[in-house]
Structures are given as structure tokens and as C-alpha cells.
Amino acid sequence: MTVRAYVALGSNLDDPPTQLANACNALQHIDQTRLEAVSSVFRSSPVGPGNQPDYLNAVALLITGLPALTLLQALQQIERAQGRVREERWGPRTLDLDLLLYGDVSLETDTLTLPHPRMYQRDFVLLPLQELWHENRVLPNGSDLATLLRACADNRVVKTSCELPAGR
């Protein structure tokens, strides 16, 4: 059995376009997983503390046969391989890979909450997700994607000309 999983990609350190491209390439090599599509890349202001550079963000659609926690472990391994160090919550980072959705699974453990608990409030996640989310435009919490985008839009998120490997 395979599942559609959506993964948010973000970077604001060490050449973010290259970090995101390398992450897309690494996603293609996860066991039992196919990189189906990647959204456009969006630039956004940082949410976290201090004076940070802007982020580049995208969303990838994976088709996977892995359990959600195993997929999360694979994503975290990609982060570590690209120099991710978890020192400060919402601090600057080389790469952030967040598992947003895993089919229609709802889950809450110490290591993983699905759907991602803050995705509904972040236009830098919802805008790229909108490009890939073709089901019925209603997210697992029952909210319409367009309504959520209107509620959180703050004009800090801008589509860039950066292109990422699309998989398949």
C-alpha cells in the first residue's frame, strides 16, 4: 500500500537554493518512496528569533510505502546529512523538512503530529501546498485551502524563479 505524503522544505543558510535542490535529490533516494512533484519555490520572512535571513520554501509530494515514523526518520537523516543542527527552536537552518500530511492519517506522538499542527497558519506552507493539493481543496481539519490562505496571507511570501528537481 502506498500513501501520498506532503513534505515542506525550507532553508535560510548555506546557499538555500542548493540546499533545497540537494534535498529534492535526496528525497528521490528514500526507500519505497517516489518524489512525485515539487512546488514552486517561495521566499518568506523568518518566523523565528533574532535577525535571520529570509527563507526559501517549497512543498514536495511523495508517494511512499513507508510508515509515517519511518518516513520522518528518513527526512531527519537528510536534514542531518545537509548540516542541520537543532539548537534553537525556529532558528536559522540549512534545511528543514516537515512532514505535513501522510494520507488522511491523524497521529499524535512525542515525535510526530499529523497533520502538521502549524501548517494551517503558515502561508509559506499553504501557498506551495496549493500547487500540489489537487484532491478536493479541503484539508484534513475540514478547512478549505483558499479560506486558510486568505486568513494567514500577510504578503511576506513571494514566488521566486528558483527551480527544483521535480522527480518522477
Residues annotated catalytic, as ranges = 84, 93, 96, 98
65 Cβ contact partners less than 8 Å away, ≥ 6 residues apart = 1, 2, 3, 32, 33
- Calculate the alpha carbon distances from 42 to 10, 46, 162 in Å: 9, 12, 8
Task: Please give the single-letter amino acid code of residue 62.
Answer: L
Question: Residue 126 to residues 8, 26, 81, 83, 100: CA-CA distances in angstroms?
Answer: 10, 23, 26, 26, 10
**Rounded to a whole number, what is the largest CA-CA distance in the chain?**
44
